[in-house]
Amino acid sequence: MKIFVPNDSAARSIGADAIAVAITAEAAKRGVAIELVRNGTRGALWLETLVEVEVGGERIAYGPTTADDVASLFDAKFYEGGSHPLSLGATEKIEWFAKQDRVTFSRVGVNSPLDLEGYISLGGYAGLKKALSLSADAVVQEVLDSGLRGRGGAGFPAGIKWKTVLGAQADQKYVCCNADEGDSGTFADRILMEADPFTLIEGMTIAGTAVGATIGYIYIRSEYPDAIAAMQGAITVATCAGYLGKNICGSGNDFDLHVRVGAGSYVCGEETAMLESIEGKRGVIRSKPPLPALAGLFGKPTIINNVLTLASVPAILADGAAAYAARGVGRSLGTQIFQLAGNIKRGGIVETGFGITLDALINGFGGGTFTGKPLRAIQIGGPLGAYFGVEKLDVSMDYESLIAAGGMLGHGGVVLFDESVNLAEQAKFAMEFCSIESCGKCTPCRIGSTRGVETIVKIMSSRDAAEIAEQKSLLLDLCEVMRDGSLCAMGGLTPLPVKSALENFPSDFEGAAK
Amino acid sequence: MTYPVWDSQVAESILASLASDPGPVLISLQALQEHFGYVHSEAVALIASTFNVSRADVHGVLTFYHELRTTPAPEHQVHICAAEACQAMGARSLQSEVEGAVSAEVSKVYCLGNCALAPAAVVDGKLIGRATLAKIVEELK
């Protein structure tokens, strides 16, 4: 019988390997014949380590388990689906999963990540087959019609980028996948790459064949060694099976894929800094224009999309643009892969159509704070995202509504803080982070961030109301300069967490305790 | 972790294997660091002459990226995530607890992508979720 123990870095970070070893040993000791499969996580990180068994074609889950539970699981004959205090029933029917709408993440965590046959049996490569049967224009039109927008943070329509690259004339074009997932509170790229790498490869292959690009790069941050290994392994498997390399699937199209590894630089998640880094240079951003779609990697037309954007493409091609666009609200179509993180009881991946409320996400799925103390602040969209207070729990989670509420969706990370948080401290950190990670090309970001730290420190340590008011006004002025004067989102958006903290949590900016 | 001592001939052969790459400087530095644990001072001139770029270019890349180091790697390294999701779960106090309590190089890192199991740390390359001083000490044994 098949027993599944996740092999991704999150599950292993809390002991999945020890469970796999214990299960193997216990099975041998008791003479129970098992087949141990190391799948990826399904994204319910609060249930890790989630052990599953396949009984009568159905997956039964147990969790969260530790190595100490293994003996009692065997006593309960869990390998036959036996009842145990950690029984969760059928995996698909666990409410937390059943209430989601998994499209991009439909295959994540089901099989062993490098099992190509398993991937195909779950509908993998149906999108590429469809794409190869269509003209390039039709593939790009399908992506346009789906309403898919950049999931990395900027929210730019993916189809328009593709159309620009398709229309550009050049002897070489590229597809670059931005897997430099540096935003705190986000981990969907990592989980997708570790648990379902073929989906990303398929999405990039569709992009390449559609616009005539024959070389692709995946730029993965070095903090993700397991994702790097999974992608490299999957590239080898796909190449051997004819899904990458020369004449893919007999279509006459060539597509080679390479992995590039970052070296600990947040700003390299900015698309032009990423191109510089792939070219082996300092990760300094480029001024735009020219757009990377016309003059990108090595000066050639380049599609740059985030992991989640490219990984959504196979489903869009396989099931049609209309099915994808039927989800979501307004101009935010399709599904978003939200990541619940920080001080949260039930953290992990929640994929659902745009338009779910923040409350349904963090209290419904998330179950509130991990510590059980009252929730005080929520940061949405990474270190450049706004801090909301609990009065904003009704906000609809889509691109436009979040901007209207004074925030942004970013990469879909949602970080909870309980009442112990000090928002002046968080605002100071936002500036500090910018000063550490700024590429240094433009002055507002390079110098402004350091001045920002100093100003917030003055506010925090002052006992003089007049001085505090003066420094606050200086800080707001600095935020305006950074927002309007910076070349990229690093300096341009650092004011967002700072200003939102100041506006939504004024009591934290009243100086030192008297 | 222990690394071999710097050997310029070995370094040359590592660089030779990267000769066909269209943008070889960063991956050269990374490859040398992976092998030797750090980038030796002789590496800058070596990379510059191998790939026909200026030493200033190589130095610029070497000093831009936080992860590239110019001093030999210590025996044990602990990285503690200092970003928001981990801050929300006590990363600031974990950092000060760990510093001084272990005989390892302790440094900050910004996001390890384990934000639902915060706070996160990496001990000699191994990711630790729901990190505590006790777990880190145990891993260093």
The helix (H) or strand (E) run that includes residue A321 is: helix A321-325
- Per-residue pLDDT at A513: 74
Question: How many other CB atoms are found less than 10 A from the CB of residue A277?
Answer: 28
| pLDDT given for residue A1 in this prediction | 87
Same domain, B39 and B84: no
Number of domains composing chain B:
2
For residues B56 and B106, membership in a common domain is answered with no
Mind listing the domains of chain A with CATH numbers?
Answer: 2-91 (3.40.30.10), 116-325 (3.40.50.11540), 328-418 (3.10.20.600), 423-509 (1.20.1440.230)
Which residues, 6 or more positions from A109, have their beta carbon under 8 angstroms from its beta carbon? A6, A39, A40, A41, A42, A43, A195, A196
Identify whether B72 is part of a domain. no
Residue A266 pLDDT grade (very low, low, confident, very high; cuts 50, 70, 90): very high
Q: Are A187 and B89 in contact (CB < 8 Å)?
A: no
What is the spatial distance between Cα B89 and Cα B81, in angstroms, rounded to a whole number?
11
Give the distance from residue A118's alpha carbon to the nearest chain B alpha carbon, in angstroms: 26
Strand order from edge to edge, sheet including B126-128 = B105-109, B77-81, B121-123, B126-128
User: For residues A57 and A195, which has the higher predicted lDDT (pLDDT)?
Assistant: A195
Q: Are residues B129 and B97 in the same domain?
A: yes
Would residue B35 count as lying in a domain?
Answer: yes
Residues B57, B81, single domain; the answer is no
B3 in any annotated domain: no
Q: Is A256 on the interface with B (CB under 8 A)?
A: no
Distance of alpha carbon A268 from alpha carbon A284, whole angstroms: 8
In this structure, the answer to whether residues B34 and B56 fall within a common structural domain is yes
Would you say residue A235 has pLDDT above 90?
A: yes
The reply to whether B57 and B112 lie within a common domain is: no
Domain boundary among B19, B34, B64: B64
**Crossing angle of helices A158-167/A136-146, nearest 10°?**
160
Both B88 and B133 in one domain: the answer is: yes
Helix spans in A385-494 (H): 399-404, 423-437, 443-461, 465-485, 489-493
- For the stretch A107-127, pLDDT in tens is 999 999 999 999 999 999 999
Same domain, B59 and B95: no
Chain B contact for A222 (CB, 8 A cutoff): yes
Tokens representing residue A262 in the block: 């970052």
Is residue B70 assigned to a domain?
no
A187 to B129: CB separation less than 8 angstroms, yes or no: no
Using the beta-carbon criterion (under 8 Å), do B87 and A426 form an inter-chain contact?
yes
| Inside any domain, residue B1 | no
Nearest to B85 among A225, A277, A415 (CB): A415
Residue at B131 is within a domain: yes
User: Chain A partners of B57 at a C-beta cutoff of 8 Å?
Assistant: 281
pLDDT in tens, A9-46: 999 999 999 999 999 999 999 999 999 999 999 999 99
Long-range contact pairs involving A66-72 (C-beta distance under 8 Å, separation at least 24): A66/A15, A66/A18, A66/A19, A67/A15, A67/A18, A67/A19, A67/A21, A67/A22, A70/A19, A70/A22, A70/A23, A70/A26, A71/A22, A71/A26
Cβ-Cβ contacts under 8 Å, B68 against chain A: 263-264
Residues B82, B126: one domain?
Answer: yes
Q: Determine whether A90 is exposed, middle or buried from the number of CB atoms within 10 Å of its CB (0-12, 13-18, 19+).
A: middle
* Size of the A and B interface in Cβ pairs below 8 Å: 147
Collapse the DSSP code of A341 into the 3-class scheme (helix H, G, I; strand E, B; otherwise coil) and give the result. Answer: strand
Whether A50 and A94 have beta carbons less than 8 Å apart is answered as no
Q: Are residues B47 and B85 in the same domain?
A: no
pLDDT digit string, tens, across residues A173-194:
999 999 999 999 999 999 999 9
Q: Which amino acid does the sequence have at A426?
A: Q
User: Is position B30 within any domain?
Assistant: yes
Q: Which residues of B touch A220 (CB under 8 A)?
A: none
B-chain CB neighbours of A264 within 8 Å are 65-68, 109
Examine the pLDDT at A301 and tell me if it is beyond 90.
yes
Which 3 state secondary structure label does DSSP give A361?
helix
B26 vs chain A: nearest CA distance in angstroms?
A: 4
The residue of chain A with its CA nearest to that of B68 is A263
Indicate whether B81 and B135 sit together in one domain.
yes
CA distance A209 to B74: 46
Looking at the complex, report in whole angstroms how far the Cα of residue B113 sits from the nearest Cα belonging to chain A.
5
Q: Which residue of B has its CA nearest to A384?
A: B84
**B2: in domain:** no
Between CA A310 and CA A162 the distance in angstroms is 11
ipTM over 0.85: yes
| Pairing, β A2-4 against β A35-37 | parallel
A56 burial type by CB count under 10 A (0-12 exposed, 13-18 middle, 19+ buried): exposed
Q: Give chain A's length.
A: 514
Residue-wise pLDDT tens digits, A387-409: 999 999 999 999 999 999 999 99
CATH of the domain at B95: 3.40.30.10
DSSP B41: T
Tokens in use for A490?
């690093």
Residues of A in contact with B81 (CB under 8 A): 184
Share of chain A above pLDDT 90, in %: 98
pLDDT lower than 70: segments of chain B: none
B-contacting residues in A 321-360 (Cβ below 8 Å): 339-344, 347-348
Residues 170-199 of A with CB under 8 A from B: 181-187, 189-190
Instruction: Please check the confidence at residue A363 and state whether its pLDDT lies above 80.
Output: yes
The residue segments making up the domain with residue B27 are 8-64
Which runs of consecutive H residues, i.e. helices, occur in B8-141?
8-16, 24-36, 42-51, 55-64, 84-87, 91-98, 133-140
The helix, strand and coil proportions of chain A, stated in percent and rounded to the nearest 5, come to 50, 15, 35
Q: How far apart are CA A497 and CA A384, in angstroms?
A: 6
d(CA A231, CA B74): 29
Domain check: are B45 and B90 in the same one? no
CA-based nearest distance A31→chain B, Å: 32
The pLDDT assigned to A514 comes to 58
Structure tokens at A345: 């009881």
